[in-house]
Amino acid sequence: MMVIRFSLFQAFYMSKKNTNQNKKPTNVHRCSFDFSSSWLPNGVLQRLVCLCVAHSANQKGSQRPKLDQSNCKVWFGSDEVGLQQDGDQILVSVADAKTASRYYGMLKSMLFKINSDTMKSGLEWNLFFEANVNGTRSWINHDDAKKQELSPWFDKSADDLKKGDVEGSLVKNTDLNVFLDSL
């Protein structure tokens, strides 16, 4: 795991920014982990990417991740998940609506793990989900999105709605390999 972390950190800091990755795809579902009410410390995105890559390595058919200084694409089998740091936000994009709720829950669990293991539970964030409201794309906060059962994030019909969503209290003092296996 140490070799993977060093290589990924090195790739983040030594690679040039890929301007093509910054273009917002129109056919993806997006959510935002917004740390602007406090702050997003350096290295949180990189730690999140390390956990994603470690989990991805255990999924059959996963491609190698693509990353630069503030963007990453990780494959979990054939499913592509994009991560982008934009100021004090980590933007998540998921191409397949059927798996959006799964990867939202998985990334939320990974952030809980990072928060409990390395940040002494000091990270605070708000969640927002992109939605099409009256033909305009806008951001809706977590509570409103959940009440509205905003598709695809909170679809009751999603087969894997809770798969990968490990509650915050369960990640404390959990071995990293056990944690990754639970996702």
Shortest CA distance to 130 belongs to which of 29, 5, 52? 29
Q: Is 99 helix (H, G, I), strand (E, B) or coil?
A: helix
- Residue 41 tokens read as 């410390």
Q: What is the pLDDT along the chain (183 residues), one digit of tens a residue?
A: 444 444 554 444 444 444 444 445 557 999 999 999 998 999 999 999 999 999 999 899 999 999 988 899 999 999 999 999 999 999 999 999 999 999 999 999 999 999 998 888 899 999 999 998 888 999 999 999 999 999 999 976 654 444 445 555 555 556 776 777 776
**How far apart are the C-alpha atoms of 80 and 31, rounded to whole Å?**
14
The number of angstroms, rounded, from the C-alpha of 29 to the middle of its chain's C-alpha atoms is 12
Q: What was the pLDDT predicted at 173?
A: 55
Q: What was the pLDDT predicted at 33?
A: 98
Residue 103 near residue 95 (C-beta atoms within 8 A): no
Order of strands across the sheet with 29-34?
66-67, 71-76, 79-86, 89-94, 29-34, 126-133, 136-141
